[in-house]
Structure formats: structure tokens, C-alpha cells
A and B are shown apart, each in its own frame.
Chain A
Amino acid sequence: QKEVEQNSGPLSVPEGAIASLNCTYSDRGSQSFFWYRQYSGKSPELIMFIYSNGDKEDGRFTAQLNKASQYVSLLIRDSQPSDSATYLCAVNDAGNNRKLIWGLGTSLAVNP
């Protein structure tokens, strides 16, 4: 059974702090990794993707990938109340890379 695991949270951080969200995956052949943000009652929205080991930065967001440890993380710098949402981690299914394996998500609350 291929799995993606995330801490369900809630993760609570003060405004302006760094929020760190983590994800581990079981499919060693996975090659692409995605972070989606989902506000309550809304659909998932892609915010970051990463394919190579190391860091990828986009504005206040940094994705970090370590394939040897099967670990991917998302850092949100200068967290804002508008970042409060559930963050979903998804990785491609190595057996069919048009399919994604989804984590259950981590709930983030940024407190003013």
C-alpha cells in the first residue's frame, strides 16, 4: 500500500513566524512532489512542486526534498493569517505517474 503521511495538526504559529509542514512517502520510485493549499469549503490549489533533491523557493514558500529519506517539507516564512488552511502533500505514483498519492493534510492556524 503506497502511502503519504502528514501530521494532521493543527499546527499553530504566530503571525510572522516560520511554519514548517512535513510529509513522508512510501513509494521510493516517486519523482514528483506537490504541495496544495485548501481553504475550508474550497478546492485544493497548487502552491509548490519539486522534482529534485534540495530546496526550491517561490516567494515566502520553500519546498525541501530529500529522496534518500523519502521526506518532503514546506516552509512558509513570515506566516500570515491568510495562510491558515489545510496543506495537502501529494506524490506521483511510480507505477502510474499520471496518478497522485495524497496525504490527509496538515491544518495550519496562523494567529494574529
Chain B
Amino acid sequence: DAGITQSPRHKVTETGTPVTLRCHQTENHRYMYWYRQDPGHGLRLIHYSYGVKDTDKGEVSDGYSVSRSKTEDFLLTLESATSSQTSVYFCAISDGRDNQPQHFGDGTRLSIL
């Protein structure tokens, strides 16, 4: 299995609080991705990174920010959580070569009350 660790695995928090999710990889892969998965919407890309300090937006980036200060770590921050951000969040990695697949972490189940 790809060495991807997401933390925390579960979190319950209140509307308006900041939340940071962490993705840690041991594969030295260049590309890292944050997705959310919701019933009826499937996997939707939030942000991705193509190197240290290099990030770009996905299709549902509003309300989220990311940072990548080291190759192995990619952080997703909800500055002021809203109930619409209740979801399952997955981190994925890819080595960045053409046409290579993405491999997923175990996910974080986030509930915002």
C-alpha cells in the first residue's frame, strides 16, 4: 500500500471554527491532492499540489486553503467551517509522470455541527 497517512481520521467541530487536516506521504511523490466525497456528487477535487509551495485550485476550492512546505506534507485548512463542509475528505498522491494513477489515503470523516 502507498504510504499515505491522513489525520485526524474523524473530527466533529462547530460552525465557525478553523479546521486543519493533514496528509503525510512517505513515497516522495511530487503530486498531492485533496478531494471531498459526498453522496450524489462523487469525488470532487478541492486543491492539488505539484511541488513544495506549488498549489492550484480544483473545482470546489471556495472556503478551503492548502499549504505544502515539505514534499511529504499537504495541509487542508477550513478557515471558518460551515455545515456544508461536512464530508469525507481524501488525500491522494501521484508521482507526476504522464498518465499515472492516484493512490488514496484512508480518509477523514469531518462533521460540522
Contacts and interface: CB of A to CB of B under 8 A. Distances in A.
A82 B98 CA distance: 32
A98 B100 CA distance: 8
Query: What does DSSP make chain A's interface, helix, strand, loop or mixed?
Result: strand
A98 B94 contact: yes
B42 A99 contact: no
A62 interface: no
A51 to B, nearest CB: 6
Contacts of A105: 42
Contact of A43 (B40, B41, B94, B104): B104
Interface residues of A, number: 20
Interface of A: 31-32, 34, 42-46, 49, 51, 88, 92, 97-100, 102-105
B55 to A, nearest CB: 13
A98 B48 contact: yes
Contacts of A45: 104
Nearest to A103: B42
Contact of B31 (A43, A98, A102, A104): A98
B106 A42 contact: yes
Interface of B: 31, 40-45, 48, 50, 58, 90, 94, 96, 98-107
B99 A31 contact: yes
Contacts of B96: 98
Contacts of A97: 98-99
Contacts of B40: 104
Contacts of B50: 98
Given A98-B48, A98-B50, A98-B94, A88 B43 contact: yes
A102 B42 contact: yes
A25 to B, nearest CB: 14
